[in-house]
């Protein structure tokens, strides 16, 4: 790994020297053009310019350009090769210098990439940690939910979107979520599964739109993980699933499904008792990552949490927000094989010792 990164840095230094040579040669061409233009203007004021003179000036500029290109060629690289690499040199420079202290996400225009992240880990068998995750928000009950979580010193993760005009009215609550220590992560912008799963590019563009909105509202980088609409394995993404996982994991993002389901997605106003029983049963079975929803028609989810939070805390459980270090292959995603293959192809991702041991024993 270290040898590979040294080779990467050496390659970057070589490309930087070539880029500087191109800049110098381009500047020489521009100077020649300016001199030629000034000369033409001066001659135009003093006497009519014949076509042969203009042709001569153009020929002089062309000759200067050829000399500049030749000097770059003699350095061992063609001008066209330098041009193709110069567009990537900026992202290479950012990668080699490492992330900023504020975030590990290194944007290059609309190109989101996470260039370093801590090694993943798994929870110990005796750790009583619960990750409550809320999909599809924000909505009119988000602040009520936040107040309830604060009452029991519980942190959670919000996988958010902006799928309706009505939802836009509550988008400012994302800042409240972030400011109160909860994780805010992308669940796509539109949540239109037939559209976002049409191709890796369609998924990424929709993801990017929501990512930028979260950053605009909260003033912070969104989480370096996300959740697929409908989970990572659904009927909409059968054909595009592998390519989308490779696209997003290749960019350094990881994703989570769940190992405990509250059942509140089965319809609006699911009885609070049903949600309560589903969640507590999941917790007692050893599940850690619970699927819930915070959107319109899910008021009974909050009602159920008024029992779940105090009872679970009394039993010694703590409620934490995901931070991107939990290894999703530890029973928290439905497409572990796809994720593992993509993660192993990205040197910036480090799977947990638990997972690597399993791979070595296969």
The answer to whether the CB of 11 falls within 8 A of the CB of 18 is no
The answer to whether the CB of 337 falls within 8 A of the CB of 359 is no
Choose, from 191, 293, 327, 330, the residue flagged as catalytic.
293
| Distance from C-alpha of 153 to C-alpha of 130, rounded to nearest angstrom | 13
DSSP SS3 for 212: helix
The answer to whether the CB of 258 falls within 8 A of the CB of 332 is yes
Per-residue CA distances from 281 to 265, 308, 320 (Å): 17, 11, 19
With b for 16 or more beta-carbon neighbours within 10 A and e for fewer, the 261-292 pattern comes to bbbbbeeeebebeebbebbbebbeeebbbbbb
Tell me phi and psi for residue 135, to 5 degrees: -95, 155
Active site residue 293: yes
Active site residue 135: yes
Choose, from 135, 259, 264, 327, the residue flagged as catalytic.
135
Q: Which residues are catalytic?
A: 135, 293
């Amino acid at each position: 790994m270290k040898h590979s990164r040294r080779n990467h840095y050496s390659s970057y230094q070589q490309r930087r020297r070539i880029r500087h040579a191109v800049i110098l040669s381009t500047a020489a061409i521009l100077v020649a053009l300016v001199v030629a233009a000034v000369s033409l203007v001066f001659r135009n004021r003093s006497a009519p310019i014949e076509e042969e003179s203009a042709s001569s000036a153009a020929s002089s500029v062309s000759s200067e350009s050829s000399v500049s290109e030749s000097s770059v060629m003699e350095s061992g690289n063609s001008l066209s090769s330098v041009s193709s690499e110069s567009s990537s040199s900026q992202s290479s420079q950012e990668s080699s210098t490492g992330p900023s202290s504020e975030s590990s996400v290194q944007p290059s225009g609309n190109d989101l990439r996470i260039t370093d992240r801590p090694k993943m880990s798994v929870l110990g068998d005796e750790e009583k940690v619960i990750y409550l995750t809320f999909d599809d928000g924000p909505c009119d009950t988000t602040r009520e939910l936040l107040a309830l979580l604060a009452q029991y010193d519980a942190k959670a993760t919000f996988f958010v979107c902006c799928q309706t005009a009505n939802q836009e009215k509550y988008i400012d609550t994302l800042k409240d979520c972030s400011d109160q220590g909860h994780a805010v992560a992308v669940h796509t912008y539109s949540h239109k599964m037939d559209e976002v799963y049409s191709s890796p590019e369609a998924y990424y563009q929709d993801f990017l739109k929501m990512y930028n909105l979260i950053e605009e509202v909260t003033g912070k980088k969104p989480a370096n993980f996300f959740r697929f609409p409908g989970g990572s394995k659904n009927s909409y993404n059968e054909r595009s699933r592998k390519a989308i996982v490779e696209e997003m994991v290749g960019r350094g993002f990881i994703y989570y499904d769940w190992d405990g389901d509250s059942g509140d997605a089965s319809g609006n106003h699911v009885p609070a008792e049903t949600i309560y029983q589903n969640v507590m049963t999941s917790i007692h079975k050893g599940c850690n990552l619970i699927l819930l929803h915070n959107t319109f028609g899910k008021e009974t989810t909050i009602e159920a949490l008024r029992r779940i939070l105090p009872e679970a805390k009394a039993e010694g459980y703590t409620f934490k927000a995901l931070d991107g270090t939990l290894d999703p292959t530890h029973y928290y995603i439905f497409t572990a094989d796809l994720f593992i293959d993509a993660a192993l192809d990205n040197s910036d991702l480090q799977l947990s010792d638990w997972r690597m041991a399993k791979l070595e024993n296969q």
